[in-house]
A and B are shown apart, each in its own frame.
Chain A
Amino acid sequence: MAHFDPNAKPFSHKWLNERLGVDTLKRVLSTEYWIPKNINFLWAMGMVLAATFGVLLISGIFLLMYYVPTTKEAFDSVNYTIMSQVGYGWLWRHVHAVAASVVFLIIYIHMLTGIYYGSYKRGRELIWISGMLLFVAFSAEAFSGYMLPWGQMSYWAGMVITNLFSLGSLNLNGLVEWIRGDYVPGQAFLGRFFMLHVVLIPLFIIGLIVLHFGTLRLPHVNNQDGEEFDFEAEAEKWKAGKKKEAKVIPFNPVFLSKDVFVMGIYFIFFFYLVFYHFEFAMDPVNFDPANGLKTPPHIYPEWYFLWSYEILRPFSKNIGLIAFGFAQVIFFLLPFLDRSPNVAPANRRGIFKIWFWLLVVDMVGLTILGKLPPVGTWTIVGTVFADIFIALWIALPFVTKMEKPIGGK
């Protein structure tokens, strides 16, 4: 089968094609990967995420050159050496911090887009599940990175989060000490979280992104109307030159140019934050070095963890943990809890529309409450919002079961 032209110039198109199948690769992965026409800018969020991950990787590599992962030197290596000695060190740090925060904003938009348009069912279950795995991996990456400057918030967030693993009344203190490598967060803890942050979790993330893209290839992306296409037939129209009639466009170069446009807008916003508003991504409390004998007056996580933290907080220890565990896994089950066959925007799906917007309002509410001190009425309001979150998910199978099927077009 293999046929190699002895006269092909090394590294010429033909030479590469015979050895690597570059034309086939390009066709399958880009020029004949079909994207529906009826989608909007929200479908660019995936590529925005991929680009932001690239930015995190590059800025991280530069930070790595001067960062010292020891409890004695970490704080100064970041706050003194990188920030004031290393040329443009501040730039990498601000880029890294802003990107780590904004990536969650985009992830939430990306997830809510998927929920709104029902992009997690009818062949797209694995896209959703691999996406949730990415969410978990990014959460772990963000948490481990937060430990590295070894400030007060690093230390106490590390203390509180690792204590979750004692699993309430099970009192698995041995497990907690094993995770820390010490009775309290210390050198052993910093060393292993450094390893996780710079090697293991990024490797996982890269693998998961490949998987996420792989799961997209056969079902293709959904569209604004939840319309089911015969992609082959539509593609034939495009290839036959009937570009107006075809309901699809090739990913490359046609759709990619739209992605690039949205990315352009996004990066203007992104660099505006990096240069003029980076402080939102840097907690002032973390500019005090870690001190195991003094808890900061009020401990809260970064904004993107606030909603799940608030589900933990208002309850007693065991119930709080169960509620927290519920919040962490329940999104994975979405494709199976939604019992309606409809793939359509939420606004055409009756009660599901209300369900969707309640979920959004509830999560925004939990996020705001998570930042307020745990006193008086706020505890009560927090309990109500946490209860609503749980109730919404319990109601989902029933709500969607009752939904009337929308006639296929």
Chain B
Amino acid sequence: MASATAIPLSYVARNLWTRRLTTALTAGGLALVVWVFATVLMLDAGLKQTLVTTGEHDNIVAIRRGSETEIQSGISRTQANIIASHPAVALGTDGERMVSKETVVLISLKKTGAGKPSNVIIRGVSAKGMTLRPQIRLAQGRPFRPGSAEIMVGSSIARGFEGTAVGDTLHFAQRDWTVSGHFDAGGSGFDSEIWGDADQLMQAFRRIGYSSMVVRLADAGDATLEQLRGDINADPRLTNEIKREQVFYSDQSRALSTFITILGLTLTAIFSIGAMIGAMITMYASVSSRVAEIGTLRALGFRRSGVLYAFMAESLLLGLAGGLIGLAFASLMQFASFSTTNFQTFADL
């Protein structure tokens, strides 16, 4: 007959409301923890999402063995030609090999507004460069003309940097480069890059070899990949390694992902200790200021467990309020976007 949860919820809720400043501060502390944690998860998930969309499953990237990024990598023209002529490489509708020999250079560009310079990737690509990345769409203007000093900029660059409107000229490597168009890479890492003609850029930056090359496999299966890998390893002229494009980009940013996760979890742990102590003090004060009320409830016939449930409910309600506020703020974070697309542009963050 006598139920242990008989103390009405209105009693619990109104006690929280009566001490609303304390309640708000405590819930705020809890909200902060939830917010930090949720934001870290979102950043990490966003990063992984970006990386996956950056790569095509049947594309492989070839770099110099042991280099972690395209910036560090180098492939000589001879090596590039040997790999390009391998039978595992797909042929395009035009009968040409589906290969893009690329050069990757970092330059510093002024951001809009603050005018602070930030690192940007310039990627010189072959004629097949865009065809190999079907997620890239022309958003404005037209593609750069091969053999000319024209460049295209990704949508993040177009939004965030000065002098990147179609028709503007950017000055780097002792040359003026005309922006011929904008491309949209669907939220992938290429959105934070500037693309131009590989040979033009190599001349301007005085490079002899390429940085990397992208190859479309004739067959996406692992057997083809392994065959190509085996042949590359067996050839003494080749000092390269190959990876699927998706794997390549996610490996590249694994360090960043780990960093974000560790930083986030550390912050979350520190904040949650603080928030827990805060919540404990609040609940302790809540109990000690109501000793007489607890005595009255007990005298009226409420069991020890009933009173305990009421205070548990109070702390749960407090936690729930904090959690919901934290999640609400965290979900606002989806409107904030960082171009944390890869390690080189981490300076953007």
A and B interact: no
Q: Name B residues whose Cβ lies closer than 8 Å to a Cβ of A.
A: none
Q: Name A residues whose Cβ lies closer than 8 Å to a Cβ of B.
A: none
